[in-house]
Structure 1
Amino acid sequence: MIPAVVICDDSNLARKQMARCLPDSWQSRIQFAAHGAEALQLIKSGTVDLLFLDLNMPVLDGYQVLAALKEMQSSIKVIVVSGDVQPEAYERVMKLGAADFVKKPVDVNKISALLDTVAAEHQAEAKGSMPPKPALTQRIEVDAELRDVFQEITNVAMGQAGDLLARLLNVFVKLPIPNVNLIEVSELHMALASVEDESSTSAVCQGFIGGGVSGEALLILTDSSFKDVARLMNYHGKLTHQVELELLMDIANILIGSVLKGLSEQLDMGFSQGHPVVLGQHAAVSELIKANAGRWRKTLAIEISYGIENYDIMCDLLLLFTEDSVKTLKNKVAFLLED
């Protein structure tokens, strides 16, 4: 008997990719959920045998879904599929009852091996046949598709960067849902939703180019973060202007380098990085952007806000793609979405 499957991910691209990994004979038994609350509703309204679950989602994230299923004493087999590959993320989901953990991008061979086990277990447990459930469909406009794809590939890339940071500092990195918007430079400060206007910040910028795509990565660190950053990096001396600059550069090198590497691998294009440039220190983010507005025009902006659990550390990483790059990126998106 074919198991009833729910694929829960806030990315349309990720849902499609996951569905393609499943056997053709399973397709009529697949349902989709865009966030955890939708997944729980599907579970409560009908029989579900297998749940593929993302972690970073709006409304209800993967951790909350696992906790709810545990409270319900559900027997549903849950396989977490996430770009957050930190060791602690793995430990948390397994403690909450996940059957396995698959990192993004999905390894088809890994999924095939898991499905063999799932199918065998389901066959042994099956008592009778259930009628197939129709798959849900979702109609998305071109701009929405572009946003969805870049949220998903950024989700994977930021997960890799978060994992590197977590391992280096021995911490748990809180990963957000990336924000993707095509904006004017005058609106750039509005994209930095997590940086308060009154916060004093320091920022560094690094250009990148490759395969018809170019842009700049902008990392903004709130000044209140420096004390804890220094502690985590085992620096116990006086926090001078120069020391703070070195700490800012260290964080920028880790996050910018690893995020661009993750994006280049998924887009199949190499990025060359320029020398980092300090945009300013100890200033409001609006002042930093105003002083450097000439660097950008209309831009595709992807914002990632990193935080570290139990520490007063918050930094924003913005990937600012030039307007001319959008056509190339759309072509890449069309390729990724091909059936």
Structure 2
Amino acid sequence: MSLSVLICDDSAMARRLLARSLPEMPSWTINYAENGEAALDFLSEHSVDLLFLDLNMPGLTGFDVLAEIRKQDYGCMTIVVSGDVQETARERVIGLGAMDFVRKPANRDIISKVLTTYGILPGDYQPASADSPSVSAGNERLPVFDFSDAIREVVNVAMGEAGSYLSDMLGTFVGLPVPKVVNAPFYSLPDSLPWDDDIELSATSHGFKGRGVAGEGVLLMPTKELEALRDWLGVDQVPSRDPLTGTLDDVSELLLGACLSGISQQLDLPFNHSFPVLLGHRRKAVDLLNCQNKAETVLGIGINYRLQEPPISCYLQLLVTEESIGTLVSRVAIISEELKVEVSQ
């Protein structure tokens, strides 16, 4: 069976994982797009039978791509493969014309089952073992990725799980932009935050540890938005607890716990984290992080959760010590060994 397939994802690691999860059909032609704009350009110039589409990408999101596919009537079958597992996200993509929704990380069994369900594969098709060559195993164009791309994708999947919990807790859709990954001096971290330097923020911090990995998780929110969230939730005054701090701590516990759990599951690296410690309210980021004179290098992973209603943003900053990076590289290398690709730091 001849089939033209396009895989669209901003992560090279995700594109490679998906390509290697496709069934062993040598007559299939596989092409790749690293963002929504590239996917639409390709669709406008080539006939595509099947599109695998990520949702959370810089620029045009998967939602935008689906809307344009419907507008232009490109006619390709689309399967969304995403770490955003909110029920609202699933409903939206189906409403926009997607054939199905698959949560990341996908594997060959899952993809084969979906393709069989929709008649793309014959009903008696039996997936080969994970060690067998896939449709693209010998393809020199198979995407390659580095450590930063791999960590970004691992965190992207983990943040999707956390965003789903937050969405369920608050009863609202949560936007999930692509995580930021920087390897930089500690004092430069405020530059990566999504707010102006003079915005007053609130922040709370947790320490976390794993096997060979140590770091800190800091949740930052504009104080005015935190107050709006407190009022929207109708948090009652508890004599032993400030409701503003309590709201911040509850959100922080949920997001950090779920995110670390998602990373742990993918890298087989268990974590534990401490109780939240308030860093302060109505202060600038540079003061909350106390980073002015700290030149040591850290791996900073920034995750921005954007609530649709009320319009509120919660920024979870994971700070991993420089000494821990080697352990993370080795855990990612295990994934890479399965994919037969070298990962550099």
Return the TM-score normalized by structure 2: 0.87
How many residue pairs end up in the alignment? 325
Q: Which residue of structure 1 lines up, in the alignment, with residue 200 of structure 2?
A: 200
CA distance in 1, matches of 2:12, 2:88: 27
The structure-2 alpha-carbon separation of the partners of 1:325 and 1:45, relative to structure 1 and needing over 3 Å to count, comes to same
One-letter amino acid of the counterpart of residue 137, structure 1: R
Structure 1's unaligned 5+ residue stretches are: 124-131
Aligned with 2:198: secondary structure? coil
1:120-150: CA deviations, max 9, x gaps? 4899xxxxxxxx999683776xxx6111111
Q: Which residue of structure 1 lines up, in the alignment, with residue 174 of structure 2?
A: 173
One-letter amino acid of the counterpart of residue 202, structure 1: S
Aligned with 2:270: secondary structure? coil
Q: Would you say 1:276 and 2:280 are equivalent positions? A: no
The structure-2 alpha-carbon separation of the partners of 1:185 and 1:31, relative to structure 1 and needing over 3 Å to count, comes to same
Q: Which residue of structure 2 lines up, in the alignment, with residue 40 of structure 1?
A: 40
1:209-261: CA deviations, max 9, x gaps? 111111110111110112331244232669x9921111110110111111111
Q: Please say if residues 180 and 301 of structure 2, whose CA atoms lie closer than 8 Å, have aligned partners that are also in contact.
A: yes
- In the TM superposition, 1:178-327 aligns within 5 A as 178-192=179-193, 194-235=194-235, 242-290=242-290, 297-327=296-326
One-letter amino acid of the counterpart of residue 218, structure 2: L
Q: Would you say 1:5 and 2:9 are equivalent positions? A: no
One-letter amino acid of the counterpart of residue 17, structure 1: L
CA distance in 2, matches of 1:135, 1:74: 27
Q: Which residue of structure 2 lines up, in the alignment, with residue 156 of structure 1?
A: 157
Q: Please say if residues 5 and 28 of structure 2, whose CA atoms lie closer than 8 Å, have aligned partners that are also in contact.
A: no
Aligned with 1:216: secondary structure? strand
The structure-2 alpha-carbon separation of the partners of 1:303 and 1:28, relative to structure 1 and needing over 3 Å to count, comes to same
CA distance in 2, matches of 1:113, 1:328: 35
The structure-2 alpha-carbon separation of the partners of 1:84 and 1:232, relative to structure 1 and needing over 3 Å to count, comes to farther
Q: Which residue of structure 2 lines up, in the alignment, with residue 128 of structure 1?
A: none
CA distance in 1, matches of 2:115, 2:92: 23
Shifted more, 217-226 versus 105-114: the winner is 105-114
1:268-326: CA deviations, max 9, x gaps? 010011232211221011221236866x8310000011111132311210111100111
RMSD: 2.6
CA distance in 2, matches of 1:120, 1:97: 17
CA distance in 2, matches of 1:27, 1:276: 54
Q: Going by fraction, where is helix more abundant, 1 or 2? A: 1
CA distance in 2, matches of 1:321, 1:204: 16
CA distance in 1, matches of 2:88, 2:98: 14
Q: Which residue of structure 1 lines up, in the alignment, with residue 74 of structure 2?
A: 74
1:171-221: CA deviations, max 9, x gaps? 0001111000101011111121x1221111111111111111111101111
1:11-39: CA deviations, max 9, x gaps? 11111111111122248511111001111
One-letter amino acid of the counterpart of residue 314, structure 2: C
Q: Please say if residues 169 and 232 of structure 1, whose CA atoms lie closer than 8 Å, have aligned partners that are also in contact.
A: no
Q: Would you say 1:137 and 2:136 are equivalent positions? A: no
CA distance in 1, matches of 2:241, 2:293: 24
The structure-2 alpha-carbon separation of the partners of 1:8 and 1:120, relative to structure 1 and needing over 3 Å to count, comes to closer
Q: Please say if residues 3 and 26 of structure 1, whose CA atoms lie closer than 8 Å, have aligned partners that are also in contact.
A: no
The structure-2 alpha-carbon separation of the partners of 1:146 and 1:118, relative to structure 1 and needing over 3 Å to count, comes to same
CA distance in 2, matches of 1:80, 1:56: 11
- In the TM superposition, 1:68-107 aligns within 5 A as 68-107=68-107
One-letter amino acid of the counterpart of residue 179, structure 1: K
The structure-2 alpha-carbon separation of the partners of 1:109 and 1:139, relative to structure 1 and needing over 3 Å to count, comes to closer
Q: Please say if residues 29 and 135 of structure 1, whose CA atoms lie closer than 8 Å, have aligned partners that are also in contact.
A: no
CA distance in 2, matches of 1:316, 1:76: 36
CA distance in 1, matches of 2:260, 2:292: 22
The structure-2 alpha-carbon separation of the partners of 1:135 and 1:40, relative to structure 1 and needing over 3 Å to count, comes to farther
The structure-2 alpha-carbon separation of the partners of 1:176 and 1:153, relative to structure 1 and needing over 3 Å to count, comes to same
CA distance in 2, matches of 1:235, 1:153: 34
The structure-2 alpha-carbon separation of the partners of 1:280 and 1:27, relative to structure 1 and needing over 3 Å to count, comes to farther
Aligned with 1:78: secondary structure? strand
